[in-house]
Chains A and B, each alone.
Chain A
Amino acid sequence: DIVMTQSPDSLAVSLGERATINCKSSQTVLHSSNNKKYLAWYQQKPGQPPKLLIYWASTRESGVPDRFSGSGSGTDFTLTISSLQAEDVAVYYCQQYYSSPYSFGQGTKLEIK
């Protein structure tokens, strides 16, 4: 099974500043068949279900603000919020869909400094 590990567990950033969350997979999630990285990012606000932000490691879901961006290689990935807004306070999860069982990172709690 692929283990997803996020860092840090929590993060406090000032409004308007950049927030960076990391995610590492225990094995590659880069599929040779289409040269794509099978990595997604989700945002979960308190009392709500997760919301899909990014898939294929860097493709924003429709309607997601462009301050959210994703990048990474076969095993190391980053979610960046370029200018933190108050509504971005949430827990962020990475998830691999390269192989079953699908697995999520433990989550990174993002707060305002």
Chain B
Amino acid sequence: QQQLQQSGPGLVKPSETLSLTCAVSGGSINSSSSFWGWIRQPPGKGLGWIGNIYFTGNTYYNSSLKSRATISIDTSKNQFSLKLNSVTAADTAVYYCARLRALFCSDGNCYGVFDIWGQGTMVTVSS
């Protein structure tokens, strides 16, 4: 069974860059049926999708983040990462990495669900 282990700082200063890494164990990040994603949850609030990456490096983002997010993948280390720049207090949240299991692919698009999640990292943006 695959597991995801997150790492990264829990405190980031305003205007700086949030950086988190998710290490995949128990299986290869090169799986053709998996995408890798980041989701966040502000305190006491609901879930918000940030973006996904495929092992080829193809990325898909929520445009609401106005291009502040960058997701990258390192297949040699079996891990993927999130960088979110120019952070403000509104970016304070629990950040989760997750595996998106592709259920159906058609015309170059794949659709799936988040079936394995990391433990979550509480990131506070504060000076």
| Interface membership of chain A positions 89-113, coded 1 if the CB is closer than 8 angstroms to chain B and 0 otherwise | 0000101011011111111000000
Known: A49-B117, A55-B103, A55-B113. 9 other contacts (CB 8 A): A34-B104, A34-B106, A40-B114, A49-B96, A49-B98, A52-B115, A95-B47, A95-B113, A101-B63
Whether A40 contacts B120 in the complex (CB less than 8 A), given A34-B104, A101-B62, A105-B46, comes out as no
Q: Check A97–B112 contact: CB distance below 8 A.
A: yes
Sort chain A's interface into a size bin: 20 to 34
Residues of B within 8 A of A55 (CB): 103, 113
Residues of chain B touching chain A, judged by Cβ–Cβ distance below 8 Å, are 46-49, 60, 62-64, 96, 98, 103-104, 106, 111-115, 117-120
Report the minimal beta-carbon distance from B42 to chain A, rounded to whole angstroms: 12
CA distance A55 to B60 in the complex (A): 21
Minimum CB–CB distance from A29 to chain B (whole Å) comes to 10
A48 CB → nearest B CB, Å: 8
Q: Provided the pairs A103-B49, A104-B46 are in contact, do residues A61 and B115 lie with their beta carbons within 8 angstroms?
A: yes
What secondary structure prevails in chain A residues at the interface with B? loop
In the complex, chain B residues whose CB is within 8 Å of the CB of A97: 111-113
- Contact of A101 with B114 in the complex, beta carbons under 8 Å: no
Whether a CB of chain B sits under 8 angstroms from the CB of A50 is: yes
> Which residues of chain A come closer than 8 Å to B96, judged between CB atoms?
49-50
Interface positions of A from 26 to 73, Cβ below 8 Å from B? 31, 33-34, 36, 38, 40, 42, 49-52, 55-56, 61
Q: List 20 A-B contacts (CB under 8 A).
A: A34-B104, A38-B111, A40-B113, A40-B114, A42-B47, A49-B96, A49-B98, A50-B47, A50-B114, A52-B113, A55-B113, A56-B103, A93-B47, A95-B113, A97-B112, A98-B111, A100-B62, A101-B62, A103-B49, A104-B49
- A34 CA / B107 CA spacing, docked (Å): 13
B120: chain A residues at CB < 8 Å are 49
- In the complex, what distance in Å separates the CA atom of A97 from the CA atom of B109? 11
Q: Is the CB of B106 within 8 A of A104?
A: no
CA distance A98 to B109 in the complex (A): 11
